[in-house]
Amino acid sequence: MAIPETPPATDRRVKETTPFAALCFITRATLPTLSQYAGHVADDLYQEAERLKLDVTGPIQWIYTGVNGDEANEFQLEIALPICQPAHASGQFRYQVFPAFRFISFIHAGPWTELGRVYDRLFSQFYRDGYQNDGRIREVFAVLDLANPANCVTEIQIGVV
């Protein structure tokens, strides 16, 4: 699937999420190390939620704090599975409540391998529109299709100041 040369269309309205609780995997990462967390961390989060009989309330989210496009830059990565309030302790993952988040949204339909180029064009348009990033980005994996990645749908949320 080819990526268009024009900047991606965004929902240029500033939106805000409501706070939510999540079962989380938290680490420090760089862009080149992200692939080591793909797949198995989400599977482990879902298995732990099932083991603890937690109600899952939304799709997996990858939350990046301090990422800036520099491959050598280390940033915080949180892989979060939204749940109802925790009832049991998890020895493997942390419970965390994420506060409200103000953002501009973009929906990417297609493989994750295209995200780097999408981000390049998306941020160019974001800054041209006069927004400033607050240092956070979220990827909400609305549709996962590992057998046919062209069917994946990812909502990219760029935090605004």
**What are the pLDDT digits (tens) for 109-134?**
999 889 888 998 899 999 999 999 99
The answer to whether position 48 is within a domain reads yes
| CATH code: domain of residue 148 | 3.20.80.10
pTM for this entry:
0.88
**What is the total count of domains within the chain?**
1
In a domain, 3, yes or no: no
Residue 2 belongs to some domain of the structure: no
In a domain, 4, yes or no: no
pLDDT tens-digit profile of 44-87?
A: 999 999 999 999 999 999 999 999 989 999 999 999 999 998 77
Q: Cα separation of 138 and 136, whole Å?
A: 7
- Does residue 6 fall inside a structural domain? no
With respect to residue 81, please indicate whether it lies within any of the assigned structural domains.
Answer: yes
Give ∠ CA 117-121-126 in degrees, rounded to 5: 140
Q: 93: closest CA among 15, 38, 5, 22?
A: 22
Q: What is the pLDDT of residues 8-36, one digit of tens each?
A: 555 668 999 999 999 999 999 999 999 99
